[in-house]
Amino acid sequence: MKTIYQALSELEKNNEAAALCTVVKSEGSTPRHVGSKMLVYPDGKFIGTIGGGDLEHRVLDEAWMAMSDGQPRVVSYSMVDPSRGDPGVCGGTVEVFVEPILPPAMVVVIGGGHVGKAVVHLAKWLGFRVAVSDDREEFCNPESVPGADAYYPCPMAELPNQLKVTRQTYLVVTSRGSGIDAEGLPSLLETNAAYIGVIGSRRRWLTTVKALKEKGVSEEKLARVHSPMGLELNAETPEEIAVSIMAEILMLRDKGTGKAMRIEEGLVKGERG
């Protein structure tokens, strides 16, 4: 049976998620000592143990929540009186650090044209894993769009069948037209993607929305789409547009505001006064 450390190495190699649960404090009589570990996978399987029983079941729940929200946590349990909700009768107390192990976020560029190429280059430079997809094979290969980690030459609608889309996935649609978007977006909207952005003017997006509604796509799902995507920079060149798009993704990922950080002139004068 593989060790937890071997499993962690495989997670990194395969860009997969899990949660590492470690006993960081133990006082009195508890099932396991400080340093005991359990690695929990999204499908419910786990390696190792932190004590079994109700304690372990509660920590498993915390592990799944940590993988979902990406936030580490320390959970504390008293193991004295089950009648008041304690997970055991050992008599001691235990603290467990639950740490989500998440793969690097991935930007998936759907459309290998000029803007798509620029987004691939910038996203890779920013430290994202990057994939490219296009239904035209000649626009979806290392020669045409260099620098990506993976290539998926397929229609947009089929992409979720070939690529696992998670809450760490940012979908950037730089396709060549509204008709392509209307055909492909319904399947993307069924995924757990952290971000779905679509390039184009407001008029193009309104045309796409009309077609999607005729296909039965709900307002709730349409509200997930950022279109026109990106921050308002008056961008014109593919490189400038890529900066606008990636700035929006970084803002949303890191919970920024998108506002200028410069202090207003009036406040500066007030401080000087």
- Segment 70-95 shows an average pLDDT of 68
Question: Would you put residue 236 in left (φ > 0), alpha (ψ -120 to 50) or beta?
Answer: alpha
Considering the chain, tell me which residue range(s) the CATH 3.40.50.720 domain(s) occupy. 106-253
| Contact status, residue 182 vs residue 212, Cβ threshold 8 Å | yes
| Contact status, residue 249 vs residue 170, Cβ threshold 8 Å | yes
Where does the pLDDT of residue 79 fall: very low under 50, low under 70, confident under 90, or very high at 90 and above? Answer: low
Tens-place pLDDT, residues 182-203: 999 999 999 999 999 999 999 9
The pLDDT of residue 91 is: 58
Where does the pLDDT of residue 104 fall: very low under 50, low under 70, confident under 90, or very high at 90 and above? Answer: confident
Residue range 106-253 in CATH 3.30.70.260 = no
Q: Per the omega criterion (within 30 degrees of 0), is the bond before 100 cis?
A: no
Q: Is the overall model pTM greater than 0.85, yes or no?
A: no
Tens-place pLDDT, residues 15-63: 889 999 999 988 776 667 889 999 999 988 999 988 777 788 889 999 9
The C-alpha R_g of the chain, in whole angstroms, comes to 24
In order, the DSSP letters of 60-90 are HHHHHHHHHH---EEEEEE-S-GGGT-S--S
Detail the DSSP E strand segments found in 102-163. 106-110, 129-133, 150-152
| Contact status, residue 99 vs residue 19, Cβ threshold 8 Å | yes
**Residue 265: is its pLDDT beyond 70?**
no
